[in-house]
Amino acid sequence: MENEIAASIEGLLLPYLEKFHTHRIDVSRGEVEVRGQVDDKETSRTRVLKVVINHDNKQICIPNIFMPEFMRQFGLGKQIIAMILDIAESHGYHLLIVDLVPSFYNRLVKRGAVVIEDGDIVLITRETDLSHKFA
């Protein structure tokens, strides 16, 4: 499942990751992480995405999703979430977004995510609107 998630993410993000000075997708048991360095300055290093897979509880958690400025406004974060939801459901897993900042938490709840822990954790379901343009 980790390799399936990494391949899907790479397929979507590769045109953007190629604009980074350096980038890498690390895959290990229970985790997929996308890191990059936007330019040649050490301060531009960033974690774009972290996905944690808890096989015992059949949960996929996303504790970190960050799009650098040049990757924003394309709906990439929501597309990533939707892709991971497809994979999660195909394996009988739940998808949780965790450690949320208040603004992202509120946006996801408005889009129909199920509150698991107030202000911090939401469950993404088929009813969650992950479209790029949200009314």
CATH number for the domain spanning 101: value is 3.40.630
Give me the pLDDT at residue 28, please.
97
Is 129 among the domain residues?
no
Q: Do residues 35 and 56 touch, judged by C-beta distance below 8 A? A: no
User: For residue 37, is it within any domain?
Assistant: yes
Give SS3 for 2: helix
* 135 part of a folded domain: no
Provide the domain count of the chain.
1
Give the strand order in the sheet containing 22-28: 22-28, 31-37, 45-54, 59-65, 94-97, 121-124, 114-117
Q: Which domain holds residue 41?
A: 1-124
**pLDDT tens-digit series, residues 59-96:** 999 998 988 888 888 889 999 999 999 999 999 999 99
For residue 52, the model assigns a pLDDT of: 98
- pLDDT for the residue 134: 54
- Percentage, residues of the chain above pLDDT 70: 98
Q: 44: which 2 tokens?
A: 């531009």
Kindly state the average pLDDT of the residues 35-49.
88
Q: Is residue 133 part of a domain?
A: no
Q: Is residue 30 part of a domain?
A: yes
131: in domain: no
Query: Would 32 be classed as within a structural domain?
Result: yes
Amino acid letter at 132?
Answer: H
Q: What are 10's two structure tokens?
A: 């790479």
